[in-house]
Structure 1
Amino acid sequence: MPHGAPQLPLTVTLAAVWAVFEVGYYSLYVAFVGRLRRVLARAAVRRRLEQISGGVLVALGVRLALDG
Structure 2
Amino acid sequence: MIGLAALWAVFEVGYYGLYVWFVGRLQHVISRAAVRRRLEQVSGGVLLLLGIRMAVEG
TM-score band w.r.t. shorter chain: over 0.9
Of 49, 52, 61 in structure 1, the residue corresponding to residue 39 of structure 2 is 49
Instruction: Give the aligned partner of residue 14 of structure 2.
Output: 24
How far does the alpha carbon of each residue in 1:12-49 deviate from its partner, in whole angstroms, 9 at most, with x for none? 11100000000000000000000000000000000000
Residues in 2 aligned to 1:57 and 1:20: alpha-carbon distance in whole angstroms: 32
How many residue pairs were aligned? 58
Residues in 1 aligned to 2:5 and 2:44: alpha-carbon distance in whole angstroms: 35
Which portions of structure 1, spanning 4 or more consecutive aligned residues, are displaced by more than 2 angstroms?
Answer: none
When normalised by structure 1's length, the TM-score is 0.84
Over aligned residue pairs, what C-alpha RMSD do you find?
A: 0.4
Name whichever structure is richer in helix by fraction: 2
Structure 1 unaligned residues grouped into runs of 5+: 1-10
| Identity score, percent | 71
The reply on whether 1:40 has 2:46 as its aligned counterpart is no
When normalised by structure 2's length, the TM-score is 0.98
The reply on whether 1:12 has 2:2 as its aligned counterpart is yes
